[in-house]
Structure 1
Amino acid sequence: MEKLRQLRRAKDAMDRDWADPDLDLAAVAAHAGYSRFHFIRAFKETYGETPGQYLSRRRIERAEDMLRSADLAVTEVCFLVGFSSVGTFSATFKRQTGLTPSEYRTRHVGRGTALIPGCYALLWAGGFPGTGRDRNS
Protein backbone atom coordinates (compact mmCIF):
# COMPACT_ATOMS: atom_id res chain seq x y z
CA MET A 1 0.00 0.00 0.00
CA GLU A 2 2.85 2.37 0.79
CA LYS A 3 4.42 1.70 -2.63
CA LEU A 4 1.19 2.69 -4.38
CA ARG A 5 0.89 5.86 -2.29
CA GLN A 6 4.46 6.85 -3.21
CA LEU A 7 3.87 6.21 -6.90
CA ARG A 8 0.61 8.18 -6.82
CA ARG A 9 2.48 11.09 -5.26
CA ALA A 10 4.91 11.09 -8.19
CA LYS A 11 2.11 10.68 -10.75
CA ASP A 12 0.25 13.60 -9.14
CA ALA A 13 3.41 15.72 -9.50
CA MET A 14 3.51 14.89 -13.22
CA ASP A 15 -0.19 15.69 -13.58
CA ARG A 16 0.29 19.00 -11.78
CA ASP A 17 3.60 20.11 -13.33
CA TRP A 18 3.32 18.59 -16.84
CA ALA A 19 4.09 21.92 -18.55
CA ASP A 20 7.36 22.46 -16.67
CA PRO A 21 10.18 21.66 -19.12
CA ASP A 22 12.52 21.14 -16.13
CA LEU A 23 10.37 18.32 -14.78
CA ASP A 24 12.69 15.36 -15.14
CA LEU A 25 12.97 11.79 -13.98
CA ALA A 26 15.11 12.64 -10.96
CA ALA A 27 12.58 15.20 -9.69
CA VAL A 28 9.62 12.87 -10.16
CA ALA A 29 11.44 9.92 -8.57
CA ALA A 30 12.23 12.13 -5.58
CA HIS A 31 8.47 12.72 -5.08
CA ALA A 32 8.09 8.97 -4.72
CA GLY A 33 11.19 8.54 -2.59
CA TYR A 34 12.80 6.15 -5.08
CA SER A 35 16.06 6.05 -7.00
CA ARG A 36 15.54 6.84 -10.69
CA PHE A 37 15.98 3.28 -11.90
CA HIS A 38 13.85 1.66 -9.19
CA PHE A 39 11.18 4.28 -9.84
CA ILE A 40 11.04 3.49 -13.58
CA ARG A 41 10.58 -0.21 -12.88
CA ALA A 42 7.96 0.31 -10.15
CA PHE A 43 6.01 2.89 -12.19
CA LYS A 44 5.91 0.70 -15.30
CA GLU A 45 4.89 -2.34 -13.27
CA THR A 46 2.02 -0.37 -11.70
CA TYR A 47 0.82 1.84 -14.59
CA GLY A 48 1.91 -0.11 -17.68
CA GLU A 49 4.14 2.63 -19.09
CA THR A 50 7.33 4.38 -18.06
CA PRO A 51 7.19 7.79 -16.35
CA GLY A 52 8.61 9.35 -19.52
CA GLN A 53 5.91 7.77 -21.68
CA TYR A 54 3.22 8.89 -19.24
CA LEU A 55 4.48 12.49 -19.14
CA SER A 56 4.80 12.67 -22.94
CA ARG A 57 1.28 11.31 -23.34
CA ARG A 58 -0.12 13.90 -20.92
CA ARG A 59 1.72 16.71 -22.72
CA ILE A 60 0.47 15.58 -26.13
CA GLU A 61 -3.11 15.36 -24.79
CA ARG A 62 -2.81 18.99 -23.64
CA ALA A 63 -1.34 19.95 -27.02
CA GLU A 64 -4.31 18.34 -28.77
CA ASP A 65 -6.65 20.50 -26.68
CA MET A 66 -4.70 23.65 -27.52
CA LEU A 67 -4.50 22.86 -31.23
CA ARG A 68 -8.28 22.36 -31.34
CA SER A 69 -9.21 25.37 -29.26
CA ALA A 70 -6.55 28.10 -29.40
CA ASP A 71 -5.22 30.14 -32.28
CA LEU A 72 -1.57 29.51 -31.41
CA ALA A 73 1.33 28.53 -33.62
CA VAL A 74 2.59 24.96 -33.31
CA THR A 75 5.83 26.35 -31.85
CA GLU A 76 3.91 28.19 -29.14
CA VAL A 77 1.94 25.05 -28.27
CA CYS A 78 5.17 23.05 -28.17
CA PHE A 79 6.70 25.26 -25.50
CA LEU A 80 3.47 25.73 -23.55
CA VAL A 81 3.09 21.99 -23.03
CA GLY A 82 6.66 21.54 -21.78
CA PHE A 83 8.66 20.44 -24.81
CA SER A 84 11.90 22.31 -25.46
CA SER A 85 12.32 21.18 -29.08
CA VAL A 86 9.78 21.55 -31.88
CA GLY A 87 11.30 18.54 -33.65
CA THR A 88 10.88 16.30 -30.60
CA PHE A 89 7.38 17.66 -30.04
CA SER A 90 6.32 17.03 -33.65
CA ALA A 91 7.80 13.52 -33.74
CA THR A 92 6.19 12.59 -30.40
CA PHE A 93 2.87 14.11 -31.48
CA LYS A 94 2.86 12.16 -34.75
CA ARG A 95 3.85 8.92 -33.03
CA GLN A 96 0.97 9.30 -30.55
CA THR A 97 -1.76 10.64 -32.84
CA GLY A 98 -0.71 9.51 -36.31
CA LEU A 99 -0.76 13.12 -37.52
CA THR A 100 1.64 16.06 -37.39
CA PRO A 101 0.45 18.94 -35.18
CA SER A 102 -0.48 20.97 -38.29
CA GLU A 103 -2.39 18.04 -39.82
CA TYR A 104 -4.16 17.49 -36.51
CA ARG A 105 -5.26 21.14 -36.35
CA THR A 106 -6.48 21.10 -39.96
CA ARG A 107 -8.51 17.95 -39.35
CA HIS A 108 -10.05 19.03 -36.03
CA VAL A 109 -10.57 22.80 -36.21
CA GLY A 110 -14.05 23.88 -37.13
CA ARG A 111 -15.79 20.97 -35.43
CA GLY A 112 -16.63 23.02 -32.36
CA THR A 113 -16.50 26.59 -31.21
CA ALA A 114 -14.26 29.26 -32.71
CA LEU A 115 -10.60 29.25 -31.76
CA ILE A 116 -9.60 31.27 -28.73
CA PRO A 117 -7.28 34.11 -29.81
CA GLY A 118 -3.66 33.25 -29.11
CA CYS A 119 -3.13 36.32 -26.93
CA TYR A 120 -5.84 35.14 -24.52
CA ALA A 121 -4.50 31.61 -24.46
CA LEU A 122 -0.99 32.88 -23.73
CA LEU A 123 -2.29 35.20 -21.02
CA TRP A 124 -4.16 32.31 -19.40
CA ALA A 125 -1.09 30.05 -19.64
CA GLY A 126 1.19 32.71 -18.18
CA GLY A 127 3.19 33.55 -21.30
CA PHE A 128 6.59 32.14 -22.05
CA PRO A 129 9.18 31.62 -19.30
CA GLY A 130 12.02 34.10 -19.35
CA THR A 131 10.09 36.89 -21.08
CA GLY A 132 9.22 38.67 -17.84
CA ARG A 133 5.52 38.22 -18.61
CA ASP A 134 4.90 34.84 -17.05
CA ARG A 135 3.42 34.18 -13.62
CA ASN A 136 6.59 32.58 -12.28
CA SER A 137 9.10 35.32 -13.13
Structure 2
Amino acid sequence: MEQTELLDLQGVAQPPRRMLRKHSGFSVETVRPDLGAAFSYDWTSNLHFCAYHDIVLEDGGIRAGDGAEDNRRDLRHTLTYVPRGARVSGWSSLSRRKNSFTAIYFDPASMREELGARFIERADEKVYYRSEEVEGYMRQWARLLAQDHSDGLYEEALGLVTVLAIHKASTYEFKAGRPLGRASLALVEEFIDENLGSDLTLSALAEITGLSRFHFSRAFKSATGETPYQRVLRRRMERAKLLMASGEMSINQIAECLGFQDASYFQRTFRSWVGMSVKEFRDRR
Protein backbone atom coordinates (compact mmCIF):
# COMPACT_ATOMS: atom_id res chain seq x y z
CA MET A 1 0.00 0.00 0.00
CA GLU A 2 1.68 3.18 -1.23
CA GLN A 3 1.28 6.51 0.57
CA THR A 4 1.39 9.58 -1.68
CA GLU A 5 -0.24 12.98 -1.49
CA LEU A 6 -2.20 12.68 -4.76
CA LEU A 7 -4.07 9.59 -5.91
CA ASP A 8 -1.69 7.54 -8.04
CA LEU A 9 -3.08 5.60 -11.01
CA GLN A 10 -0.97 2.52 -11.71
CA GLY A 11 -0.57 0.50 -14.89
CA VAL A 12 -1.76 3.20 -17.32
CA ALA A 13 -0.27 3.03 -20.82
CA GLN A 14 -0.13 6.84 -21.00
CA PRO A 15 -0.04 9.13 -17.94
CA PRO A 16 -3.37 10.95 -17.59
CA ARG A 17 -3.64 14.70 -18.03
CA ARG A 18 -3.64 16.31 -14.56
CA MET A 19 -4.63 19.94 -13.94
CA LEU A 20 -3.63 20.87 -10.39
CA ARG A 21 -4.01 23.99 -8.22
CA LYS A 22 -2.44 24.20 -4.78
CA HIS A 23 -3.51 26.56 -2.00
CA SER A 24 -2.80 26.82 1.70
CA GLY A 25 -4.39 23.80 3.38
CA PHE A 26 -5.81 22.16 0.25
CA SER A 27 -5.15 21.13 -3.35
CA VAL A 28 -7.61 20.44 -6.17
CA GLU A 29 -7.03 18.59 -9.42
CA THR A 30 -8.91 17.31 -12.44
CA VAL A 31 -7.61 14.05 -13.93
CA ARG A 32 -8.42 13.04 -17.50
CA PRO A 33 -7.21 9.57 -18.56
CA ASP A 34 -7.04 8.50 -22.19
CA LEU A 35 -10.13 7.06 -23.87
CA GLY A 36 -10.65 3.47 -22.77
CA ALA A 37 -7.71 3.56 -20.33
CA ALA A 38 -7.30 0.83 -17.72
CA PHE A 39 -5.57 1.31 -14.37
CA SER A 40 -5.46 0.25 -10.73
CA TYR A 41 -4.76 2.02 -7.43
CA ASP A 42 -3.88 1.10 -3.87
CA TRP A 43 -3.49 4.27 -1.90
CA THR A 44 -3.63 5.93 1.47
CA SER A 45 -2.86 9.50 2.51
CA ASN A 46 -2.52 11.76 5.52
CA LEU A 47 -4.93 14.13 3.75
CA HIS A 48 -8.70 13.92 3.46
CA PHE A 49 -9.85 13.24 -0.10
CA CYS A 50 -13.13 13.81 -1.94
CA ALA A 51 -13.59 13.11 -5.66
CA TYR A 52 -16.40 14.01 -8.04
CA HIS A 53 -16.77 11.48 -10.88
CA ASP A 54 -17.68 12.01 -14.52
CA ILE A 55 -16.87 8.41 -15.37
CA VAL A 56 -18.51 5.42 -17.04
CA LEU A 57 -16.75 2.05 -16.62
CA GLU A 58 -16.67 -0.98 -18.84
CA ASP A 59 -15.67 -2.87 -15.72
CA GLY A 60 -14.12 -2.16 -12.35
CA GLY A 61 -14.40 -2.18 -8.60
CA ILE A 62 -13.45 -0.02 -5.62
CA ARG A 63 -12.94 -0.79 -1.95
CA ALA A 64 -12.56 1.95 0.70
CA GLY A 65 -11.49 1.16 4.25
CA ASP A 66 -13.09 -2.07 5.47
CA GLY A 67 -16.07 -1.82 3.12
CA ALA A 68 -17.11 -4.33 0.48
CA GLU A 69 -16.05 -3.90 -3.14
CA ASP A 70 -18.43 -1.71 -5.14
CA ASN A 71 -18.80 -2.64 -8.83
CA ARG A 72 -21.08 0.05 -10.17
CA ARG A 73 -20.39 1.11 -13.76
CA ASP A 74 -22.10 4.49 -14.29
CA LEU A 75 -20.36 6.80 -11.81
CA ARG A 76 -21.50 10.12 -13.25
CA HIS A 77 -22.55 12.74 -10.66
CA THR A 78 -21.30 10.63 -7.74
CA LEU A 79 -18.72 11.41 -5.04
CA THR A 80 -16.21 9.35 -3.12
CA TYR A 81 -14.93 10.51 0.27
CA VAL A 82 -11.88 8.93 1.93
CA PRO A 83 -10.58 10.43 5.22
CA ARG A 84 -6.89 10.50 6.04
CA GLY A 85 -5.31 7.20 6.97
CA ALA A 86 -7.98 5.12 5.22
CA ARG A 87 -7.03 2.80 2.42
CA VAL A 88 -8.70 2.94 -0.98
CA SER A 89 -7.96 0.34 -3.64
CA GLY A 90 -9.51 -0.76 -6.88
CA TRP A 91 -9.26 -1.11 -10.62
CA SER A 92 -11.02 0.51 -13.56
CA SER A 93 -11.47 -0.17 -17.26
CA LEU A 94 -12.94 2.99 -18.73
CA SER A 95 -15.52 3.26 -21.50
CA ARG A 96 -14.41 5.06 -24.66
CA ARG A 97 -15.76 8.49 -23.70
CA LYS A 98 -14.19 11.58 -22.16
CA ASN A 99 -13.96 10.38 -18.57
CA SER A 100 -12.57 12.48 -15.74
CA PHE A 101 -12.65 13.03 -12.01
CA THR A 102 -12.07 16.16 -9.95
CA ALA A 103 -10.62 15.72 -6.47
CA ILE A 104 -9.92 17.95 -3.48
CA TYR A 105 -7.25 17.00 -0.95
CA PHE A 106 -7.13 18.88 2.35
CA ASP A 107 -5.36 18.89 5.67
CA PRO A 108 -8.00 18.38 8.40
CA ALA A 109 -5.94 20.13 11.10
CA SER A 110 -5.48 23.23 8.94
CA MET A 111 -9.15 23.29 7.95
CA ARG A 112 -10.25 22.84 11.56
CA GLU A 113 -8.37 26.02 12.47
CA GLU A 114 -9.67 27.89 9.41
CA LEU A 115 -13.34 26.98 9.78
CA GLY A 116 -13.59 26.94 13.57
CA ALA A 117 -15.05 23.46 13.26
CA ARG A 118 -14.25 20.39 15.31
CA PHE A 119 -14.66 17.47 12.96
CA ILE A 120 -15.18 13.98 14.28
CA GLU A 121 -11.90 12.14 14.70
CA ARG A 122 -12.84 9.14 12.55
CA ALA A 123 -15.11 9.83 9.60
CA ASP A 124 -16.56 6.97 7.59
CA GLU A 125 -15.52 6.35 4.00
CA LYS A 126 -18.29 6.91 1.46
CA VAL A 127 -18.18 5.45 -2.05
CA TYR A 128 -20.26 6.72 -4.97
CA TYR A 129 -22.63 8.81 -2.88
CA ARG A 130 -24.55 11.92 -3.90
CA SER A 131 -24.69 15.44 -2.50
CA GLU A 132 -26.07 18.27 -4.63
CA GLU A 133 -24.20 20.91 -2.63
CA VAL A 134 -20.79 19.22 -2.83
CA GLU A 135 -21.36 18.29 -6.48
CA GLY A 136 -22.13 21.92 -7.29
CA TYR A 137 -18.84 23.10 -5.80
CA MET A 138 -16.83 20.33 -7.45
CA ARG A 139 -18.36 21.09 -10.85
CA GLN A 140 -17.24 24.71 -10.37
CA TRP A 141 -13.73 23.40 -9.71
CA ALA A 142 -13.81 21.28 -12.86
CA ARG A 143 -14.67 24.37 -14.93
CA LEU A 144 -11.99 26.49 -13.22
CA LEU A 145 -9.27 23.91 -13.73
CA ALA A 146 -10.10 23.63 -17.41
CA GLN A 147 -9.27 27.32 -17.88
CA ASP A 148 -5.80 28.58 -18.75
CA HIS A 149 -5.93 31.36 -16.17
CA SER A 150 -6.46 31.14 -12.41
CA ASP A 151 -7.78 33.51 -9.75
CA GLY A 152 -6.27 32.70 -6.37
CA LEU A 153 -8.67 34.88 -4.38
CA TYR A 154 -11.77 33.17 -5.79
CA GLU A 155 -10.24 29.70 -5.58
CA GLU A 156 -9.27 30.09 -1.91
CA ALA A 157 -12.84 31.03 -0.99
CA LEU A 158 -14.30 28.21 -3.09
CA GLY A 159 -11.97 25.67 -1.50
CA LEU A 160 -13.05 26.63 2.02
CA VAL A 161 -16.78 26.35 1.31
CA THR A 162 -16.19 23.07 -0.53
CA VAL A 163 -14.48 21.58 2.52
CA LEU A 164 -17.25 22.81 4.80
CA ALA A 165 -19.90 21.31 2.52
CA ILE A 166 -18.11 17.95 2.53
CA HIS A 167 -18.27 17.89 6.32
CA LYS A 168 -21.80 19.17 6.83
CA ALA A 169 -23.12 15.66 7.31
CA SER A 170 -20.55 15.04 10.04
CA THR A 171 -20.83 16.11 13.66
CA TYR A 172 -18.99 19.35 14.28
CA GLU A 173 -19.18 22.42 16.47
CA PHE A 174 -19.22 25.71 14.62
CA LYS A 175 -17.75 28.79 16.27
CA ALA A 176 -18.84 32.16 14.92
CA GLY A 177 -16.01 34.60 14.20
CA ARG A 178 -15.88 38.16 15.48
CA PRO A 179 -17.32 40.92 13.27
CA LEU A 180 -15.14 43.09 11.05
CA GLY A 181 -14.68 46.52 12.61
CA ARG A 182 -14.60 49.79 10.67
CA ALA A 183 -10.87 50.27 11.17
CA SER A 184 -10.06 46.77 9.90
CA LEU A 185 -12.42 47.20 6.95
CA ALA A 186 -10.77 50.49 6.03
CA LEU A 187 -7.34 48.84 6.09
CA VAL A 188 -8.56 46.04 3.83
CA GLU A 189 -10.14 48.50 1.38
CA GLU A 190 -6.93 50.55 1.30
CA PHE A 191 -4.83 47.43 0.70
CA ILE A 192 -7.10 46.36 -2.17
CA ASP A 193 -6.90 49.78 -3.86
CA GLU A 194 -3.11 49.88 -3.53
CA ASN A 195 -2.63 46.37 -4.91
CA LEU A 196 -5.16 46.01 -7.74
CA GLY A 197 -2.33 45.04 -10.10
CA SER A 198 -1.09 42.27 -7.82
CA ASP A 199 -2.25 38.67 -7.44
CA LEU A 200 -4.43 39.42 -4.42
CA THR A 201 -5.13 36.42 -2.22
CA LEU A 202 -7.67 35.71 0.48
CA SER A 203 -4.80 34.89 2.82
CA ALA A 204 -3.25 38.36 2.40
CA LEU A 205 -6.55 40.13 3.00
CA ALA A 206 -7.42 38.00 6.04
CA GLU A 207 -3.98 38.56 7.57
CA ILE A 208 -4.69 42.31 7.79
CA THR A 209 -7.63 41.61 10.12
CA GLY A 210 -6.19 38.75 12.16
CA LEU A 211 -9.06 36.46 11.12
CA SER A 212 -8.89 33.09 9.37
CA ARG A 213 -9.66 33.12 5.66
CA PHE A 214 -13.08 31.58 6.20
CA HIS A 215 -14.16 33.91 9.01
CA PHE A 216 -12.74 36.93 7.19
CA SER A 217 -14.84 36.08 4.12
CA ARG A 218 -18.01 35.81 6.23
CA ALA A 219 -17.25 38.98 8.20
CA PHE A 220 -16.39 40.98 5.05
CA LYS A 221 -19.61 40.00 3.30
CA SER A 222 -21.61 40.78 6.44
CA ALA A 223 -20.03 44.24 6.61
CA THR A 224 -20.15 45.13 2.89
CA GLY A 225 -22.75 42.91 1.23
CA GLU A 226 -20.06 41.60 -1.15
CA THR A 227 -17.53 38.79 -0.99
CA PRO A 228 -13.85 39.83 -1.07
CA TYR A 229 -13.65 38.50 -4.63
CA GLN A 230 -16.63 40.62 -5.74
CA ARG A 231 -15.18 43.72 -4.09
CA VAL A 232 -11.79 43.27 -5.78
CA LEU A 233 -13.47 42.79 -9.17
CA ARG A 234 -15.64 45.86 -8.61
CA ARG A 235 -12.62 48.03 -7.78
CA ARG A 236 -10.70 46.67 -10.78
CA MET A 237 -13.58 47.44 -13.13
CA GLU A 238 -13.98 50.93 -11.67
CA ARG A 239 -10.26 51.55 -12.17
CA ALA A 240 -10.45 50.10 -15.70
CA LYS A 241 -13.17 52.55 -16.68
CA LEU A 242 -11.07 55.47 -15.44
CA LEU A 243 -7.99 54.25 -17.30
CA MET A 244 -9.92 53.72 -20.53
CA ALA A 245 -11.55 57.13 -20.24
CA SER A 246 -8.11 58.75 -20.04
CA GLY A 247 -7.11 57.13 -23.35
CA GLU A 248 -3.45 56.96 -22.29
CA MET A 249 -3.08 53.16 -22.09
CA SER A 250 -3.72 50.25 -24.42
CA ILE A 251 -6.05 47.40 -23.45
CA ASN A 252 -3.05 45.13 -22.88
CA GLN A 253 -1.48 47.71 -20.57
CA ILE A 254 -4.70 48.18 -18.62
CA ALA A 255 -5.15 44.43 -18.22
CA GLU A 256 -1.60 44.04 -16.92
CA CYS A 257 -1.97 47.07 -14.66
CA LEU A 258 -5.05 45.51 -13.03
CA GLY A 259 -3.58 42.06 -12.44
CA PHE A 260 -5.21 40.15 -15.30
CA GLN A 261 -3.15 37.39 -16.87
CA ASP A 262 -4.16 38.28 -20.41
CA ALA A 263 -6.18 40.92 -22.26
CA SER A 264 -8.87 38.52 -23.47
CA TYR A 265 -9.65 37.44 -19.91
CA PHE A 266 -9.84 41.10 -18.89
CA GLN A 267 -12.21 41.89 -21.76
CA ARG A 268 -14.50 38.96 -20.92
CA THR A 269 -14.60 40.05 -17.30
CA PHE A 270 -15.28 43.67 -18.26
CA ARG A 271 -18.22 42.70 -20.49
CA SER A 272 -19.67 40.44 -17.80
CA TRP A 273 -19.31 43.09 -15.09
CA VAL A 274 -20.10 46.33 -16.96
CA GLY A 275 -22.62 44.95 -19.46
CA MET A 276 -20.80 46.12 -22.58
CA SER A 277 -17.59 45.37 -24.43
CA VAL A 278 -14.40 47.37 -24.01
CA LYS A 279 -14.86 48.75 -27.54
CA GLU A 280 -18.45 49.79 -26.83
CA PHE A 281 -17.35 51.55 -23.66
CA ARG A 282 -14.53 53.39 -25.42
CA ASP A 283 -16.79 54.40 -28.32
CA ARG A 284 -19.08 56.21 -25.89
CA ARG A 285 -16.41 58.83 -25.14
Q: Same fold (TM over 0.5)?
A: yes
Higher strand share: 2
CA distance in 1, matches of 2:190, 2:179: 15
How much identity, in percent, do the aligned residues show?
Answer: 36
Question: What's the counterpart of residue 98 of structure 1?
Answer: 275
Question: Residues 49-75 of structure 1: CA distance to partner in whole angstroms, max 9, x if unpaired?
Answer: 011111111111111111111232211
Where relative contact order (Cα < 8 A, 6+ residues apart) is larger, the structure is 1
Letter in 2 for 1:10: V
Question: What's the counterpart of residue 137 of structure 2?
Answer: none
Q: Secondary structure at the match of 1:3?
A: coil
Question: Residues 9-50 of structure 1: CA distance to partner in whole angstroms, max 9, x if unpaired?
Answer: 222211222222x22111111111111111111101100101
Letter in 2 for 1:8: A
Match of 1:33 among 196, 210, 225: 210
Q: Which is higher, the Rg of structure 1 or of structure 2? A: 2
Match of 1:14 among 184, 188, 192: 192
Does structure 2 conserve the Cα–Cα contact (< 8 Å) formed by 1:6 and 1:33? no
Match of 1:55 among 228, 232, 236: 232
TM-score, normalization by structure 2 = 0.35
Aligned length: 107
Say whether residues 1:88 and 2:251 are aligned partners.
no
Higher helix share: 1
Once the two structures are overlaid, the 10-residue window that deviates more, 85-94 or 1-10, is: 1-10
TM-score, normalization by structure 1 = 0.70
RMSD over aligned CA atoms reads 1.9
